Amino acid sequence: MTVSLDIESITAHYGHTEVLKDLSLSVKAGELVSLLGSSGCGKTTTLRLVAGFLPPTKGRIKLGDKDITRLPAHTRNIGLVFQNYALFPHLSVLENVAFGLKQRGVGSDKRRKRAGDMLDRVGLSPYAERLPAALSGGQKQRVALARALVIEPPLLMFDEPLSNLDAKLRIDMRVEIRKLQRANGTTSLYVTHDQEEAFSISDRVAIMNAGKIMQLDHPEVLYQRPANAFVARFVGFENLVPMKVSERDGDRVTAEAEGGGSMSLSQDSLGPIPDEFVLAARADGLSVRRAGEGLPVTLGLRTYLGRAYQYQCQSTAGELVANGPLSDPMEQGGAAVLAPHFEQCCILPVE
């Protein structure tokens, strides 16, 4: 049975330190949501609360219609996949996968059949009688995934499951995890600090900071339309320029940056533009030009990217990073202007 997960106004402490404050999150039935953020942001604490390893100070956790906030961890029937695999070294691969079924009282023949079927699904049937020590890292992670799925949990949770694998194997395994999760339709909560991993595997992603969710949305929306400066910097918007509107003419808005320089912006492309705002742009979103309308800058270090030159630029709005064409390289110390490419920019509120 596929169910939803609802975390409602959860606050949690480690000793006297508050690590989560009034955090709320809903994961739809069959959905995979990732918690993404740097170390200490609260993502693993959230996982521990849902698993029952840590009691909340206040708030409620529901799995479907069932309140599990105060239930012991072993009664929650949640599938867990850890960073360090957590396999029993003295048990065979088949016995590791069947362990959860044994704990639930499933008979020997039936649990061996179910465990064998699950090993077949993750491509490990030939390794059923091996001990974990004889497996590679990727194979161990497949065993851990099979063990979590075989109990048919209403909720599957992953805690940095691919951190110990090399880059190529991480890509292969995240594809396998996504395929199995979709095939089973299991509601899933996934913790990672890797943005590419989270964006590639998730239906939605919650970007966290200091125990709070800064934005929860589809990966495409987070990447193209961050809601605030923290999320913008997190997803790669190197340039945040405070601006004020000086003139409006239909769709077109003329805005001035602090210290000088103006830009003509399109509301059709960027959406409604308030009188004061922050223009967020990646390096590809600001084009370096010798003259014309734009932010005046002094060019700093130039680096070759293959498809463009990238410049460190000094402006009255601070240091900015922008790209220029390979056909017209400019020298360090020279004057230039930066003009926006609207599809690579977004408008943020002043904080």
How many domains, the chain? Answer: 2
Task: Tell me: pLDDT of 239 over 90.
Answer: yes
Residue range(s) defining the domain that contains residue 320: 237-348
CA 344 distance to own-chain centroid: 20
- The Cα–Cα gap between 206 and 165 comes to 24
Query: How far is the C-alpha of 134 from the C-alpha of 148, rounded, in Å?
Result: 20
Tell whether 196 and 253 lie within a shared domain: no
Q: What is the pLDDT of residues 258-279, one digit of tens each?
A: 777 888 888 998 999 999 999 9
Q: Do 186 and 311 sit in the same domain of this protein?
A: no
Q: What is the pLDDT of residue 173?
A: 85
Please give, one letter per residue, the 3-state secondary structure of 202-250: CCEEEEEECCEEEEEECHHHHHHCCCCHHHHHHCCCCEEEEEEEEEEEC
Q: What's the CATH code of the domain at 83?
A: 3.40.50.300
Residue 40 and residue 168 in one domain: yes
- The model's pLDDT over 27-69, given as tens digits with 9 standing for 90+, comes to 999 999 999 999 999 999 999 999 999 999 999 999 999 999 9
| Token pair listed for 64 | 């479907």
Integer Cα distance of 332 and 313 in angstroms = 9
Residues of the chain with pLDDT > 70, as a percent, come to 100
In this prediction, residue 45 carries a pLDDT of 95
Of the residues 232, 259, 286, which one is the last residue of a structural domain? 232
221 shares its domain with 343:
no
241 shares a domain with 224 = no
Is 277 in the same domain as 212? no
Amino acid at 345: C
pLDDT tens track for 291-334: 888 899 999 999 999 999 999 999 988 899 999 999 989 999 99
Q: Do 85 and 210 sit in the same domain of this protein?
A: yes
Residue that finishes a domain, picked among 215, 232, 249:
232
Determine the pLDDT at residue 180. 86
Q: What is the CATH number of the domain that holds 293?
A: 2.40.50.140
Compute the average pLDDT of residues 101-126. 90
Mean pLDDT of the chain: 92
Q: Are residues 272 and 222 in the same domain?
A: no
Q: What pLDDT digit, counting tens, does each position of 134-148 carry?
A: 998 888 888 988 898
The two tokens of residue 345 are 């920019």
- 178-182, 240-244, 309-313: lowest mean pLDDT where? 178-182
Tokens linked to 226: 């961050």
By percentage, how much of the chain surpasses pLDDT 90?
Answer: 68
- Amino acid occupying residue 208: M
Q: Are residues 19 and 106 in the same domain?
A: yes
Q: Do 244 and 179 share a structural domain?
A: no
Cβ neighbours, 10 Å, residue 151: 20
The amino acid sitting at 256 is: E
User: Average of pLDDT values for 217-221?
Assistant: 97
Q: Which helix (H) or strand (E) holds 3?
A: none
Which among 76, 17, 16, 77 is positioned nearest to 42, based on CA atoms? 17
Which distant-in-sequence residues (6+ apart) come within 8 Å of 236 by Cβ? 223, 282
Same domain, residue pair 245 and 185: no
| Cβ(101)–Cβ(150) below 8 Å | yes
Query: How far is the C-alpha of 206 from the C-alpha of 219, rounded, in Å?
Result: 9
Same domain for 293 and 182? no
- The reported pLDDT for the residue numbered 1 is 66
Of 212, 232, 252, which marks where a domain is finished? Answer: 232
